[in-house]
Amino acid sequence: MRFTTIYPDFYKDFCCKADKCQHTCCAGWEIDIDASTADKYQQLTGQLGDTIRQNIVEVDGVWQFRLREDDRCPFLREDGLCELIRRADESILCDICSNHPRFFVTVGDYELAGVGLSCEKSCELLLAVTEPLCFQTESGDNLSLKELLQSLSLPVSDEDLCYQTGITADDAEFILECMEKTEPIDAAWTAQLLQLRSEPFAADAEVPCVFDRIYQYILYRALEHVPAYGLGTVLSYVQLNTDFIYLTYRLTGQLDESIRRWSEQIEYSTENVKLLLELLV
């Protein structure tokens, strides 16, 4: 069966910032090597092949790059560039390094493509315009989010497609209780939750209109969970996470970083996504 691939409006503009990135994806994460690339590395001749083999390790049947003590990839240079690309070209990369932060998930008759928001470039592109999110098929047809959801036989109202503002003190308490149940990515995440707890709650100020676009993209990313949890639970999940991004933005004044840190903690943790969804069922 052939699926129609859908792309968000900014997907075509994505390009890795490489050495201009302040939050490199080449540090802080385990980097699994797909079996095909691992086999290529084992067969690679010359000094480059020897160097690669000295810096990979097999863990539970899966090959990984052997991270340095500071959790950086052994081939991440001090200038932020990749030594493998410099010495060969991008074809030397394993699948995860070639594809990140792109994702592809199947929902109904569609393959939904996008870029994860743990990447600062993805956040910049998402926030570059304030218009509602729209999509394009691989054949060039344009779709609104509502049209996409209708194609997936998901009945939504116009209200479902917009971020609902007006967080109350009780809402904020519930949001933080949920986030405190997730497995923290690092000490800074826990510290920020404590800071949010310590700040006196104030009535909502004006919410930037770009929050509708943020909400819509999180909804698009979460559509794969509708078959297991239902549309209502997924909509609640999207509202909860957008609310949390708003709370952290109001605290820090940095919207792009609020989104990126949320993504690292939630979007990129299968366990944390599942935990939040199950809290909302």
pLDDT of 231-254, one tens digit each?
Answer: 999 999 999 999 999 999 999 999
Please name the residue that has the structure tokens 């779709």: 143
Query: In this predicted model, what pLDDT tens digit does every residue of 196-224 receive, in sequence order?
Result: 999 888 776 789 999 999 999 999 999 99
**Contact predicate 281/233, CB 8 Å:** yes
Q: What distance in Å separates the CA atoms of residue 262 and residue 248, rounded to the nearest whole number?
A: 9
Q: What distance in Å separates the CA atoms of residue 237 and residue 179, rounded to the nearest whole number?
A: 12
> What pLDDT does residue 204 have?
65
DSSP secondary structure string for all residues of 225-251: GHHHH-HHHHHHHHHHHHHHHHHHHHH
Beta 110-115 vs 102-107: how paired, if at all?
antiparallel
> What pLDDT does residue 264 have?
96
CA angle 40, 23, 277 (to 5 degrees): 90
Q: Give 28's pLDDT tier (boundaries 50, 70, 90).
A: confident
Q: Give 3's pLDDT tier (boundaries 50, 70, 90).
A: confident
CA angle 222, 245, 108 (to 5 degrees): 10
Task: Give the residue-averaged pLDDT of 222-230.
Answer: 97
